Every structure is written in structure tokens, then in C-alpha cells.
Amino acid sequence: MKVFKFGGASVKDAASVKNVREILSRYNGEKLCVVLSAMGKTTNALEAVADAWVKQDMAAITLLNEIETFHMEISKALDGAGSKQLKLIIREIRQLLQSAPPALYDAAYDLVVSNGEMMSTAIVSDYLNLSGLTNQELDARKVLITNEAYRNARVSWEETSGKIRAAFDESNPEQFAPVTITQGFIGSSANGHPVTLGREGSDFSAAIFAYALDAGEMIIWKDVPGVLNADPRYFDDTVLLNRISYRDAIELAYFGASVIHPKTIQPLQNKNIPLYVKSFEKPEEIGTLIHSFEDQPLNTPCYIVKKEQVLVSVSPNDFSFIAEDGLYTIFGLLSHMGIRINLMQNSAISFSICIDDHPDKLNRLFKALSGDFRVKYNRGLELITIRYYNKKITDKIVNKRPVLLEQKSRLTVQLVVESQKSK
């Protein structure tokens, strides 16, 4: 069994869907589990629908109509593939928008946004069948079971593994197709409520399926030749990393490398399942292999840039030490508000964190801290992470920009600097 994951860029239009079929045909006769993301920018579009619904803004219907048109045009270009199922999904969303949204925004979000992957698989699965590549569609919500932590659900591994294995039971060959199409990013709680696994969570979904099925390998198909040592949008002369250890992959993903979702590696590592990252534009190329190469560290520096960062420094109002009780309060607020720390550092009387710039969350955080702490912050920053750094490389990347915060370990340096745009 091989597990494939195709992201939004690989199914963004009719030509892309046809390309997916061509890739799958290269594995004719093999057992495949194919995990799909929503098409193109559908997740962003559905987020706008969810926002409008929560605000009881009639624009939600207009936005949904645009999503419907986008998908129906792709369906039409693929001989009407999935059109009946698409209409049912859209009808259900439209009915949902006519009701009052849940009090909890994240629950409303998951009810709406989870439909993107359902629309994608409806089209792709039907097109593959129409074009002669027999497959079965599996609703991930019936097998991927989680808690009710909406937008960042935690997997119930034992129950999920059992349900996935049962869904792929080959004891009845007449009802079993070698290719199964399913959804990334989504699942359901034990109570049957739709949930999502966090943005870009389709990689993680594929890893869950690979883990449950004891897959021989997993392949993530991307619009890049594999894992590069830096984002080509920000760096010239990027280098393809032919092989990466699980450890390095986890570190790079944690620091913000966009090619792999941070949660993807652990389930694969636990069962020693090799992970390939390959180009859907050039499927014949080998790409990047992530596996047990712990004794083979990378010799190539890797660069990760997180833009739109905020550096927040917190000090007690009474100039006392930042002790455990103060940190307990700060961490509790960050956890409650869903704010992820990208970098942290403390001195005797201050605690500094680098976080993503979400104005609403920041305002709530500052208000909550204002009673016991003094808060200072800087916006318009970048967090640069260099794995396998040296001083020459660090100086070149910083390029004489003021460094507001620096943190080093044996293999990694992180620097909070002024954004290039702010100069």
C-alpha cells in the first residue's frame, strides 16, 4: 500500500486533475490511498463564507455561489464529473447558512470549511471512474476520529486506526477497488461533529492513513521538485535536499518550513515509513526522501523565514522577577487564545516572545496582560531560522539589519530582525 497526498495546487483546475490521473496511472495495479486537499484557494474562500455566516452577513450566500461556480466549471471541463454530488454539498451548505451559527466560532468554521475537501474528492473520484481508473471514495469523517478541539483536533489513534483498517478490508474483493480517494484536513469527533486538523493538515491526514495501513511509503506531490533548503520566493540559488532525516524534517517543519506539515513526521517515524516529496509536474524525478538518516546530518544550511512577526516583551508591574507563577499566567493566556510561540526568551525581569501578527488576538492578549504586566511590542518583523548555520551565513542573511532578538543552539540560530519592507 502506498499513500499519496495531492495538495490544492495539484487539483486547482481541470488540467491539474487530469495530471493527477496521469500520475496515478504510472502506478497501475498497485494499492493506493489518495488523500486530496480542497481545490486551489477553496479553503480561503470557505473561510470567508464562515466569517460572513458568523456575522450573519448575507454576503455568505454570494461567496458560496462563487465557490459553486468555480467547482462546476471544473466539473464541466471533466465531462460533468462529480456534478450531482457537488450540488448536494452546496445545497447542504446553503441550508446551513440559513440557520443560526454555533456560539463557538471554531465550531462554525469547521462546519463550513470542511466541505472544501468533500467537493474536491467528489470531482476527482468521479472523473477517475469516468476515465477508466476505477476507485472508491471514502469519507474521512467516518474513519478519522478526534476530540472536539475544533480547527486543531487531536486524533484518537486507536479508534481511527481500527476504522481505517476496516475500511480497507480486502476480504470481499468484489467490493474493494485498489485505489481509494479520501479527504485530507478533516475528520469528526466521537459525537459525529465535523472537525479540521489545522491549516495545511492534509499532510497530517495522509500520515495518519499511512500509519494505520502500515504503508510501504508515502508521497506528497508538490509544485516544487522536493524539499529545498530555502523558499525560492525569498532566496536565490536554492538547493534540493535529496535526503533528510526524520529529526531534521521535524525541526524544519516546526520552525515554519511550508513544504511539510509539522505533525506529519511523527506517525511515519513511529513505523519507519519512508516519506517522499516529489513534483507533480515532473513525477519521474526522485524528489526528496525523508527516512531514518539520523547518522547522516545535513551538510547544507537551511533557511526559514516567517514574515509578519511581532516581538512582545512582558515585565511585571512591580519590577519583580519573572518567576514560575508569572510564566504560568502568561502561558495560560497564550494557550487559551490559541497563540503559538515561534521563539521565546526570558531575563530576570522580562519575558519575550515572537508570535504571528494576528491583530485581534494581540489586542485580547495585551488587554488580558495589562493588569499585572507592562507590555512592549514591535511589529513589522521577520523571524529567520537557519539550521546548520555559521557566522558568515548569518551575517549575509541579516544584511546589516538590526537584530532585536537572537537565540542560538548547537545547530540552529534564530534571529528576529526588521522586515525588508519596513526599511
How far apart are alpha carbons 227 and 231 in whole angstroms? 9
Residue 332's contacts (CB-CB under 8 Å, 6 or more residues apart) are none
Report yes or no on 50 lying in a domain. yes
Report yes or no on 52 lying in a domain. yes
Report yes or no on 246 lying in a domain. no
Residues 151 and 11 in one domain: yes
Which amino acid, one-letter code, is at 276? Y
- At 396 the pLDDT is 87
Q: What is the largest CA-CA distance in the chain?
A: 74
- Strand ranges of the sheet holding 403-408, from the earlier edge strand across to the other edge: 341-346, 351-356, 302-316, 373-387, 412-418, 403-408
- Determine contact, residues 7/183, Cβ cutoff 8 Å: no
Domain final residue, candidates 215, 238, 262: 215
How far apart are alpha carbons 37 and 367 in whole angstroms? 37
Domain final residue, candidates 176, 194, 215: 215
Residue 192's contacts (CB-CB under 8 Å, 6 or more residues apart) are none
352 φψ region: left (φ > 0), alpha (ψ -120 to 50), beta (else): beta
- At 423 the pLDDT is 37
CB atoms within 10 A of CB 65: 12
Residues 66 and 203 in one domain: yes
Residues 130 and 34 in one domain: yes
- At 173 the pLDDT is 60
- Determine contact, residues 408/393, Cβ cutoff 8 Å: no
Q: Give the chain's domain count.
A: 2
Report yes or no on 239 lying in a domain. no
Cell triple for 220: 506528497
Report yes or no on 232 lying in a domain. no
CATH (domain of 181): 3.40.1160.10
Residues 62 and 179 in one domain: yes
- At 422 the pLDDT is 42
Residue 410's contacts (CB-CB under 8 Å, 6 or more residues apart) are none
Backbone angles phi, psi at 100, to 5 degrees: -75, 135
Domain final residue, candidates 196, 215, 234: 215
- At 420 the pLDDT is 74
CATH (domain of 383): 3.30.2130.10
- At 298 the pLDDT is 85
Hey, CA dihedral for 69, 73, 79, 82, is it positive or negative? negative
- Determine contact, residues 405/354, Cβ cutoff 8 Å: yes
Report yes or no on 340 lying in a domain. yes
Taking the chain (423 residues) in runs of 10, the rounded mean pLDDT of each run is 97 98 96 98 98 97 98 98 98 97 96 98 98 96 96 96 92 73 97 91 97 98 93 87 93 84 92 97 96 85 94 91 90 92 93 94 94 94 94 88 93 92 45
- At 218 the pLDDT is 98
Report yes or no on 401 lying in a domain. yes
How far apart are alpha carbons 224 and 278 in whole angstroms? 7
Which residue bears the cell 548547537? 410
How far apart are alpha carbons 244 and 258 in whole angstroms? 15
Residues 159 and 25 in one domain: yes
Residues 56 and 164 in one domain: yes
Residues 150 and 16 in one domain: yes
Residues 402 and 307 in one domain: yes
Report yes or no on 242 lying in a domain. no
- Determine contact, residues 215/33, Cβ cutoff 8 Å: yes
Residue ranges making up the domain that contains 80: 2-215
